[in-house]
């Protein structure tokens, strides 16, 4: 299997930062607050009643700033998010860019799109965000939540920088209802397609740990998820934390990817295993064929 530095590039647009580039994935010990990057007690920004008024808690959890001007701007834009028809489209075009760290031209915001900590988001040119999508940069510092040029985010997608950087390369296409959670980091290269209902990232917990503590207090080390350029994930694919999917790979619908996938590999099943190689004109291998030879084809 190729090393991670070999399989993760962003096609003709160059490497996505963080995929062997200039910005590493977040480590659990970085001590970064979810407000604006100041050091903070781990989890303190998520505690609503920790000596703060409800307004301050709302600003910290939702707006991402304690500026009164940004609060007013956010509230007006939040109202415009649900304004119907062409008037709503126009209002969002005028109001949303001012909330963002970077906003490219020609971006279209659908009805009911929710933005959390928008001041940390960099949105490229020609991005389309369909109705009822949810963007959350609470776990990022400014600029770590990055959507490349000409990305398409379908209706009802959740794109969350839960606890680290999240970057989508140019022309990534997310199908309806996809969920992306960056625990430590999540990167998707250029021209990659995710069909409807894919789930990528999240955390993992130790089912073999002690019974004296809740499972939620026994997380496994987080490593982040990296998906290379020009990949295709079928409907309902799950990619768990710690996995690298190499450039040009194809993952069949409903697969659960628990280990790294080599470049241009065609994989399917639970857990995902190799059934072919893209571009070789080969037919998919019969399920279980490797078992007859005593070889494992899990990837």
CATH label of the domain that carries residue 161: 2.160.10.10
Whether 169 is in a domain gets the answer yes
pTM: 0.78
Structural domain count, the chain: 1
Whether 267 is in a domain gets the answer yes
Whether 146 is in a domain gets the answer yes
Bridge partner residues of 276 (DSSP): 266
The answer to whether 136 and 161 are in contact (CB under 8 A) is yes
Whether 52 is in a domain gets the answer no
Domain around 125: 103-207+215-279
Distance CA 189, CA 245 (A): 10
Whether 272 is in a domain gets the answer yes
Q: Are strands 121-123 and 102-103 parallel, antiparallel or unpaired?
A: parallel
Other C-beta atoms closer than 10 Å to the C-beta of 16 total: 28
Q: pLDDT tens for the chain, 299 residues: list them.
A: 334 333 344 454 444 443 334 344 554 444 333 333 333 333 444 455 556 789 999 999 999 999 999 999 999 999 999 999 999 999 999 999 999 999 999 999 999 999 999 999 999 999 999 999 999 999 899 889 999 999 999 999 999 998 889 999 999 999 999 999 998 899 999 999 999 999 999 877 777 777 888 878 877 777 889 999 999 999 999 999 999 999 999 999 999 999 999 999 999 999 999 999 988 765 555 544 444 333 445 45
Q: Which two tokens stand for residue 202?
A: 């999240």
Whether 252 is in a domain gets the answer yes
Q: What Cα–Cα distance (Å) separates residue 213 from each residue in 134, 180, 202, 209, 230?
A: 32, 28, 21, 8, 42
Whether 236 is in a domain gets the answer yes
Whether 127 is in a domain gets the answer yes
Distance CA 17, CA 273 (A): 29
């Amino acid at each position: 299997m190729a090393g991670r530095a070999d399989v993760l590039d962003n096609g003709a647009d160059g490497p996505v930062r963080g995929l062997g580039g200039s910005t590493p994935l977040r480590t659990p010990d970085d001590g970064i607050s979810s407000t604006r990057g100041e050091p903070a007690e781990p989890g303190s920004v998520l505690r609503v009643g920790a000596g703060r008024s409800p307004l301050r808690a709302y600003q910290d959890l939702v707006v991402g700033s304690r500026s009164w001007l940004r609060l007013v701007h956010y509230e007006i834009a939040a109202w415009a998010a649900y304004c119907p028809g062409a008037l709503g489209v126009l209002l969002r075009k005028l109001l949303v860019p001012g909330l963002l760290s970077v906003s490219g031209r020609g971006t279209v915001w659908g009805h009911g799109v929710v933005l959390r900590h928008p001041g940390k988001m960099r949105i490229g040119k020609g991005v389309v965000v369909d109705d009822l999508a949810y963007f959350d940069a609470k776990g990022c510092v400014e600029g770590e939540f990055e959507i490349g040029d000409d990305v398409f985010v379908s209706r009802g997608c959740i794109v969350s920088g839960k606890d680290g950087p999240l970057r989508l390369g140019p022309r990534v296409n997310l199908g309806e209802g996809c969920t992306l959670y960056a625990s430590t980091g999540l990167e998707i290269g250029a021209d990659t397609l995710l069909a409807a209902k894919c789930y990528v990232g999240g955390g993992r917990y130790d089912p073999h740990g002690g019974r004296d503590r809740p499972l939620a207090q026994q997380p496994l080390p987080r490593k982040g998820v990296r998906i290379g350029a020009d990949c295709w994930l079928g409907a309902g694919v799950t990619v768990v934390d710690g996995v690298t999917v190499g450039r040009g790979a194809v993952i069949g619908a409903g697969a659960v990817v628990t280990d790294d996938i080599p470049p241009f590999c065609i994989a399917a099943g639970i857990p995902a295993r190799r059934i072919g190689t893209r571009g070789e004109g080969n037919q998919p291998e019969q399920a279980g064929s490797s078992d007859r030879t005593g070889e494992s084809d899990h990837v």
